[in-house]
């Protein structure tokens, strides 16, 4: 059980050893977060006890407190990992080659929705629920995920607007309405609406078309002046 790191003479303090330390710590943190995700997803945040998580992780209760300050820090940690796995910027930049906005948007939505489906929806349910209600978590989420995303997205929208690829609409609202729609649909799904899951694969195309073209039939009589 004891690891005699010091026996390794060529390791200089503060360099490799620390790196190993960090990796060990990161590994433990992930082990704990994995367990937390699993249990939170099943039982929800409040009903889950530290003991539940410790048992799931195969460690002692107290050990969790060596890696996380308190129970809420676990949600923070989960949020962080979700964010990392997100890599929105990367998502976007990878899509930069897409020839036009429609393909771009479709590909992006497909990617995002695939990620959502891959991760267990259940953990979103818990995280969103807690974000809504926990100020600290909310502010953190806003600063680390929300704002940066919008700052980045705004550039794209501005560029598209400049290039007259999209109409000169209220950009701030436009770029908020789109993720809002995705978020809203996910919540509708979580709440129990079966229609969304049934049409999950149709969503990227549908949403893209709706966002870009609308669902209204354009005619001169109905068209707004």
Q: Is 160 helix (H, G, I), strand (E, B) or coil?
A: helix
Which of 2, 7, 84, 222 touches a second copy (CB under 8 A)?
222
Q: How far is the CB of 60 from DNA (least distance, A)?
A: 3
Cβ-Cβ contacts under 8 Å for 88 (sequence gap 6 or more): 148, 149, 152
Asked whether position 51 contacts DNA by CB under 7 A, the answer is yes
Minimum CB distance to DNA smaller for 72 or for 161: 72
The two structure tokens encoding residue 175: 């770029």
Cβ-Cβ contacts under 8 Å for 151 (sequence gap 6 or more): none
State which of positions 17-46 bind a second copy (CB under 8 A). 44-46
CB atoms inside a 10 Å sphere around CB 108:
21
48 vs 2: CA distance, rounded Å: 31
State which of positions 97-156 bind a second copy (CB under 8 A). 100-102, 125-126, 128-134, 138-139, 141-142, 146, 150
Asked whether position 115 contacts DNA by CB under 7 A, the answer is no
Give Rg (Cα) of the chain: 22
The option from DNA, a second copy, none interacting with 71 (CB < 5 to 8 A, set by class) reads DNA
Q: Which of the stretches 24-32, 65-73, 109-117, 207-215 binds a second copy when contact is defined by CB under 8 A?
A: 207-215
User: How far, in Å, are 81, 132, 139, 142 from residue 136 at the CA level?
Assistant: 17, 10, 5, 10
What is the size of the binding site for DNA (CB under 7 A)?
19
Asked whether position 165 contacts a second copy by CB under 8 A, the answer is yes
Dihedral of alpha carbons 70, 73, 78, 84, sign: negative
Minimum CB distance to DNA smaller for 51 or for 167: 51
The option from DNA, a second copy, none interacting with 191 (CB < 5 to 8 A, set by class) reads a second copy
The option from a second copy, DNA, none interacting with 117 (CB < 5 to 8 A, set by class) reads none
State which of positions 2-21 bind DNA (CB under 7 A). 21
State which of positions 56-95 bind a second copy (CB under 8 A). none
**How would DSSP label each residue in 124-151?**
HHHHHHHHHH-HHHHHHHIIIIIHHHHH
- Residues 132/138, Cβ–Cβ less than 8 Å: yes
Minimum CB distance to a second copy smaller for 31 or for 129: 129
The site map against DNA for 61-80 (x = CB under 7 A) is xxx-xxx--xxx--------
Asked whether position 3 contacts a second copy by CB under 8 A, the answer is no
User: How far, in Å, are 36, 86, 170, 213, 215 from residue 79 at the CA level?
Assistant: 12, 10, 30, 34, 35
């Amino acid at each position: 059980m004891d690891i005699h790191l010091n026996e390794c003479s060529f390791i200089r303090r503060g360099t490799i050893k620390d790196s190993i330390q960090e990796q060990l710590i990161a590994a433990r943190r992930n082990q704990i977060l994995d367990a937390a995700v699993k249990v939170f997803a099943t039982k929800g945040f409040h009903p889950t006890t530290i003991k539940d998580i410790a048992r799931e992780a195969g460690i002692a209760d107290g050990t969790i407190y060596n890696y996380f300050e308190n129970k809420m820090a676990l949600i923070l940690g989960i949020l962080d990992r979700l964010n990392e796995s997100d890599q929105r910027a990367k998502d976007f930049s990878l899509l930069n080659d897409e020839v036009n906005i429609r393909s771009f948007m479709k590909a992006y939505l497909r990617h995002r929705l695939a990620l959502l489906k891959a991760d267990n929806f259940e953990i979103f349910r818990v995280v969103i629920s807690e974000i809504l209600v926990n100020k600290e978590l909310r502010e953190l989420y806003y600063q680390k995920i929300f704002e940066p995303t919008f700052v980045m997205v705004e550039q794209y929208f501005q560029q598209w607007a400049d290039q007259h690829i999209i109409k000169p609409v209220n950009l701030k609202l436009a770029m908020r309405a789109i993720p809002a729609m995705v978020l809203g649909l996910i919540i509708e799904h979580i709440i129990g609406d079966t229609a969304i899951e049934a049409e999950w694969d149709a969503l990227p195309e549908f949403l893209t078309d709706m966002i870009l073209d609308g669902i209204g039939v354009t005619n001169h009589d109905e068209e707004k002046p």
